[in-house]
Structure 1
Amino acid sequence: MGIPAWVWFTVAAVAGVAGFALLATDRAQRTARNRERRRWAALRGWQFEETDHVLPTRWEAGAIAYYGTGLARDVVAGSTFTADGRRQVYVLDHETGGKVNSVLVGVRCRRALSVVIELWLSTVPFQRDDDKKPMPDMLGPVGSRYAFVTDVPAARKIITPDLIDAAEEIGGDVTVVWMENDWVLAAAPPNSSPARLERLLRDVGELADVIDPFDPDPSEREEPVAEEDEGGEVYRPSFGRKQP
């Protein structure tokens, strides 16, 4: 004797209700996060954008290489002061495949590095098989993280004790910190609170100060980043436009 049709109907109905409940919960969480991020941006006098498809294309390493380019949700753009002056910042939910995998925090430097440096927690399965975005060369332990770099000799000059100390302050909830071109970025867990993101911005800013000091020795300077107005503010938000 087969299973009665009403049993299958009941199972389908329960599954449908469960799916709807999960969708409603996810939407409620996204709405709450959107309001929280928008309110935080307003308090700081920063700009807010719900979605940006272009912004993640600025970067290719770290969490972007691991998860994919995706898109940016609940984006905050502004500038903040560090010990070495004002720096441009971004905070965004990095979404791929319809799922937010991390909150990215980025602080911009005044000059670009000639090497990409990724600092991964040892507990994270950081290897990736994408031929277009292969894993950089492994340099070795850097504090509690492992360093992967695109140029080992150049990276050794940059990874100083001060950089290691600054990276250690970032916290064990941040899976990867990476330096790419004129940016220092970190990937925090989804749903990180504004208070946590404030601390992370401060810590990433300190790391930016280490690799991009206000008045470095001229012999140690990296290639300057082109600016439209020399001496002006670093912060120039440009939602939807990829900068060089």
Structure 2
Amino acid sequence: MTGMWFGLAAIALAGAGALLYVDRTRRDQSGRVRQIWAKAQGYTYTGSDDQLAGEWHRAAMAKQDYLTATDVVRGTRRGEQFVLFDLEETATIVAVRREIGSDVDIDLRLKSTAPPKDGDLNLLGAIGPRVVFATDLEIARRVCDQRMVAFTESVPPALSMLWSEGRWTLGSLPVSSSGRDWDAAIEAVARLSGILHVLPPVTDPSELEVDHDPTRPRPRPDVSDAPAVSDSDAPVARDLPSAVRDVPRREAPDAPRREAPESQRREAPESQRRNAPAPAPTNTPKPGSGPQRSGTVRPVD
């Protein structure tokens, strides 16, 4: 009887070893397939990254920061950087990075998927075959236009969850996905990232305005509000260095006088006399005429 139990235990141990070997072989084969796919696309392949999973915390990445990202592929699609990796045996994640991040996060998932557990994500409603959650419903309502409707209807069903976090737009695939699924997933997440460019950018809390709508451009500053420059702001002589202030002013030298030729000097008096006006006649009183001063004695004939 004891020998039978030992035999069953040996069979179970051999079966477990065989399963581990098959799983290891499949994982290595999957890694080689992804490495070949990345090389053919011109992307960069890395076997594992211990810190990558801690970059995101929503949807499929919630409470998964302790896991190791394996078979990591990095590249550029539609002018934006992306990273694709396996979260061990949980899911395959595609993340596309935008140039400008946003404080508003959006979650699009299939109706058959459980709702997110994040407390700041609120239900907006259904759009196409998916349900939309957002941290700001008013802004998310503006984003969900006709482009978003067309996008949700064209997303591959393998992408069960799509969401955004800051500068990143992410999607989740089954681990058993193939190279064709990876291409379609990267394309879909990149399209969603382009749509989410309309989200308001991250702003400094000190620069927030109470009456400003973050989805609209800021008005240009009025030139009339610029501070006027007063006369007191103009530089004066006392502000200059003493070496410059004490320099004496130099007067321009007198221009040398040119003497006229001798012939002109001789003719000048005659022409001056000829052209000079005649002197005004002076009225000289005649003798014996005019008023007599009092007290004077006239001679007696």
**TM-score with structure 2 length normalisation?**
0.63
Aligned to 2:4: 7
Q: Distance between the aligned counterparts of 1:102 and 1:126, measured in 2?
A: 17
1:24 aligns with 2:9: no
Please give the per-residue CA displacement for 1:147-189, whole angstroms capped at 9, x wherever unaligned: 2222222221222221232133222222201111111111011
1:142 to partner: Cα distance: 2.1
Stretches of structure 2 that go unaligned for 5 or more consecutive residues are: 204-301
The Cα of 1:91 is off from its aligned counterpart by 0.6
How far apart are residue 41 of structure 1 and its match? 1.4
1:140-159 to 2 correspondence within 5 Å? Answer: 140-159=125-144
Larger RCO: 1 or 2 (CA < 8 Å, sep 6+) = 1
In the alignment, the residues of structure 2 paired with residue 11 and residue 146 of structure 1 have an alpha-carbon distance, to the nearest angstrom, of 50
| Counterpart selection for 1:88 from 56, 81, 86 | 81
Which residue of 105, 126, 137 maps to 1:116? 105
Report 1:168-207 matches (<5 A): 168-207=153-192
Q: Are 1:77 and 1:91, in contact at CA under 8 Å, matched by a contact in 2?
A: yes
Q: What does the per-residue CA deviation read over 1:195-216, in whole Å, with 9 as the maximum and x for residues that have no partner?
A: 111111112212222222xxxx
User: How many corresponding residue pairs?
Assistant: 202
CA contact (8 A) 1:75 1:92 kept: yes
| 2:42 aligned with 1:45 | yes
Is 1:55 aligned with 2:33?
A: no
- Closer, same or farther: CA 36–211 of 1 in aligned 2, 3 Å: same
Q: Using the alignment, how far apart are the partners of 1:135 and 1:46 within structure 2?
A: 36
Shift of 1:135: 6.9
Aligned partner of 2:297 in structure 1 is: none
Find the aligned partners of 1:20 and 1:102 in 2 and give their Cα distance. Answer: 24
Return 5+ residue gaps in structure 1 as ranges: 213-219, 226-244
CA distance, structure 2, for counterparts of residue 50 and residue 222 of structure 1: 36
- Is residue 68 from structure 1 mapped to residue 64 from structure 2 by the alignment? yes
The DSSP-based 3-state class of the residue aligned with 1:118 is strand
Amino acid at match of 1:152: L
TM-score (norm 1): 0.76
User: Sequence identity, in percent?
Assistant: 27
Matched to 1:25, the amino acid is: V
Secondary structure of the structure 2 residue equivalent to 1:101? coil
Q: CA, structure 1 residues 135+191, in 2 after alignment: closer, same or farther (shift >3 Å)?
A: farther
CA-CA distance at 1:224 after TM superposition: 6.5
* Residues 12 and 134 of structure 1: CA distance in aligned 2, closer, same or farther (over 3 Å): farther
User: 2:200 maps to what in 1?
Assistant: 222
